[in-house]
Structure 1
Amino acid sequence: MLSDIESLKNEIKQYTLSNEEELEKFRLTYLSRKGKVQAMFGRMGEVPNEKKAEVGKAMNEVKNLAQKIYEEAEKRLKNRQETTQKATDDITLPAPPLPMGSYHPLTQTLEEMKEIFYRLGFTIADGPEIEDDFHNFTALNFPPNHPARDEQDTFFVEKYDDPEKQDLVLRTHTSPVQIRLMKEQEPPIRAIMPGRVYRNEAVTPKSYFLFHQVEALYVDTDVSVADLKETLISFARLMFGTDVKYRIRPGFFPFTEPSLEMDIWWETDGSGKWLEILGSGMVDPNVFKSVDIDPEKYTGFAWGMGVERIAMLRHGMDDIRVFYDNDIRFLEQFK
């Protein structure tokens, strides 16, 4: 009897339960009223009284084993069925597309600007966003009483009363990178300096306390205003199209002399107006002297422009704040 119970136990262990049909067959074969386990209990009358306890214990172990295997298989098959039911009815259909991200419109515009400057022969330079007074103001020919040095225009990180110490500011333009580049590299220099800049300005549709700039610098022998104008016109045509209407007019900046500003004609709703896109000029000799470049031997031009302004013109936008709202409905338009 005990050998028959052991054989039944091994038979149950080796049974495969991989689908509903096999599960039901297992139940009928071993656990039903006419199954093998119940039939084994029906033979208890053949067992001598002194063996009944031992045989009964072995039979209960077989019954519990069969019940455990059945319940575990039933649970496993049920979970598999629930997972399958979550899939589409037709498994041959393609999966639904995942939502795709995209570059921010400012990033897209900046990449276009970089590509244009690459075509014009410029490289890229970078510098820190926290600058000292020398690189941000003094070396760029800002006089000591210039309004840009005041706290109502500039974010100061550290401001010292000691004249021997350099004030630290969040850079107000990317021009300090020009100073660092000219101090580290002998001319000729032909590079752009993209990056974030900070100014203590009220937030309006046209201004923000954080924005992005791209500055350009070209230093060599015999660089002239004609070279500057030709580069400005080439950039405008490559950025806005060959039919762009532009004008170049006099301006003033502490670090360039003479200085020029460039506007383009922007038409909206049947009307139009001139919009400034950049300030530029020939590098002031005082700037060259501050970085130990001989102004009698070298000349150069520089200009700076806001990436937000270029992006607004490209896409017909009239509010700079939308670039920083993180509104997914706005960003999805630039996929």
Structure 2
Amino acid sequence: MFDQIEKLTQEIQAATAQSQQELEDFRLKYISRKSVVAELFSGIKDIAPEDKKEFGQKVNGLKNTAQAKFQELIEALESTQGPGKDRPHDLTLPNIPNTLGSVHPITQTREQIIEIFERIGFNVSDGPEIEEDWYNFTSLNFPPNHPAREMQDTFFIQKDPDILLRTHTSNVQTRLMSMEKPPFRSIMPGRVFRNEAISARSHCLFHQVEGLYVDKNVSFADLKNTLYYFAKEMFGHDIKVRFRPSYFPFTEPSAEVDIYWGMETELDRKMTKGTGWLEILGCGMVDPNVLSNCGIDPEEYTGFAFGMGIERIALYKHKIEDIRLFFENDVRFLKQFTALS
């Protein structure tokens, strides 16, 4: 059997493969489970005890030689033929179109919102998603144990109660006001997190765009004109818009902005709770306490702020009735949205 090992070693070293079939024949004869090398392994039991160690070493060497030669034959064949070159080309097959994927509707809506505000002088600011309590709550007029904190179900970091996942992108506003000097005119798009039940109208992860304008002599009229401009550019010049008084701890006075969705279909009545109006954002004049907390003199500067949910805007734009569709990555849903040019 030692002579057989020597003979097989010479065969393997001299082997060539000019086609995929010859390569497969080599694999079956020398490497597969039913190969001649495998038969030698099964024959170890018939070897005299004093020769088993030497025989096993030589069979292992033969196995390694076969595997190395097989890899060498693969590389040599690919270098001469290339992948698939031994297969005939069917020129009657249709061409494979060079198609582009679509842009996610949330991304489309976000970019459109940014573009609209950039036209009137707003730049884009960004901040951390894992935030300190000061920037997310306290500096925004949410003192400890304030009832307004219960308006937002927060994901706190367990080991440090002062660290949390931001519940709004207002943390970027307070960082901007704390670290720079007015005037500011900026928008803050980003992801936010709230410990809420997932349903057709709400999710624990969603996207916001907030805006901040701080300067001397900024008025509520500036806020209204800015948001009227946004609504008409986003939804069309015939859109109906209304302001309603509201409450937020960080703005005073505060308002919510609604657009008229309609009451023509069952979807219209469902999304607007039977009113025909859909709330798209909250806004107001920056509370003097917030300015003071961030080191800005409220006697010298005033400002306005607003915040909107990108999913809510996308729902209206595309007449989608379930917010969960944005997060399920269903290709049947996503391919309906054409790529941006």
Q: TM-score, normalised by structure 2?
A: 0.69
Cα offset, 1:223, TM superposition: 0.2
Residue 247 (structure 1) aligned to one of 242, 246, 262: 242
Q: 2:33 corresponds to which residue?
A: none
Aligned to 1:300: 303
Distance in 2 of aligned mates of 1:261 and 1:247: 8
Secondary structure of 2:325's partner? helix
Which secondary structure state, in structure 2, belongs to the residue aligned with residue 260 of structure 1? strand
Question: One-letter code of the match for 1:132?
Answer: E
* Separation of aligned partners in 2, 1:216 and 1:155: 24
Amino acid at match of 1:186: K
Inter-partner Cα distance in structure 1 for 2:203 and 2:148: 16
Counterpart residue number, 1:98: 98
Aligned residue for 2:261, secondary structure, equals strand
Compute the displacement of 1:94 (Å).
Answer: 7.5
Contact 1:190 1:217 in 2 (8 A): yes
- 1:89 CA drift (Å): 2.4
Q: Deviations over 1:58-89 (max 9, x none)?
A: xxxxxxxxxxxxxxxxx99xx79x74755332
Offset at residue 328 of structure 1 (A)? 0.3
Q: Which amino acid aligns with 1:118?
A: E
- Is 2:329 the partner of 1:334? no
State the partner residue of 1:144: 144
Residue in 1 that maps onto 2:258: 263
Supply the distance in 1 between the matched residues of 2:303 and 2:199 (Cα, whole angstroms). 35
Q: Which segment is superposed worse, 248-257 or 264-273?
A: 264-273
- Give the TM-score normalised by structure 1: 0.71
Q: Which amino acid aligns with 1:216?
A: G
CA distance in 2, matches of 1:146, 1:196: 25
Q: Amino acid of the residue matched to residue 214 of structure 1?
A: V
Alpha-carbon distance in 2 for matches of 1:262, 1:137:
23
Deviations 1:296-318 (A, max 9, x none): 00000000000000000000011
Moved segments of 4+, more than 6 Å: none
1:133 matched residue in structure 2: 133
Task: Give 1:147 shift.
Answer: 4.8
Mapped to 1, the partners of 2:89 and 2:225 lie a distance apart of 62
Provide the C-alpha distance between the structure 2 equivalents of 1:327 and 1:159, rounded to a whole number of angstroms: 36
Preserved contact between residue 169 and residue 190 of structure 2 (Cα < 8 Å): yes
1:87 alignment partner in structure 2? 89
Over the residues paired in the alignment, what is the CA RMSD in angstroms?
2.6
SS in 2 for 1:267: coil
- Residue-by-residue CA offset, 1:161-207 (whole Å, 9 max, x unaligned): xxxxx610100000010000011111110000000000000000000
1:75-224 to 2 correspondence within 5 Å? 83=85, 86-90=88-92, 95-147=95-147, 149=149, 153-158=153-158, 160=160, 167-224=162-219
1:159/1:167 contact within 8 Å kept: no
Offset at 1:148?
5.8
Query: Contact 2:148–2:249 at 8 Å: present in 1 too?
Result: no
Relative to structure 1, the CA distance from residue 84 to residue 241 in structure 2 (aligned partners, 3 Å threshold; closer, same or farther) is farther
Q: 2:253, 2:101 → 1: CA distance? A: 45
Distance 1:277 1:150, change over 3 A: closer
Contact 2:197 2:204 in 1 (8 A): yes
Q: Sequence identity of aligned pairs in percent? A: 59
Asked if the contact 2:126–2:188 (Cα under 8 Å) also holds between the matched residues in 1, the reply is yes
Q: How does 1:69-80 map to 2 (within 5 A)?
A: none
Question: 5+ residue gaps in structure 1?
Answer: 1-74, 161-165
Does residue 278 of structure 1 match 2:281? yes
Check conservation: 2:104, 2:337, Cα contact below 8 A. Answer: yes
Tell me, yes or no, if the aligned pair for 1:198 and 1:211 is still in contact at 8 Å: yes
| Mapped partners of 1:222, 1:244: distance in 2 | 29
Q: In the alignment, is the contact (CA less than 8 A) between 1:148 and 1:154 conserved in 2?
A: no
Q: Decide which structure has the larger Cα Rg and report it.
A: 1
Q: Alignment partner of 2:316: what SS?
A: helix
Q: Retained in 2: the 8 A contact 1:244–1:265?
A: yes
Going from structure 1 to structure 2, the CA distance change for 1:151 and 1:257 (only over 3 Å counts) comes to: closer
CA distance in 2, matches of 1:315, 1:104: 12
AA at the equivalent of 1:257: E
Distance in 1 separating the partners of 2:222 and 2:151: 37
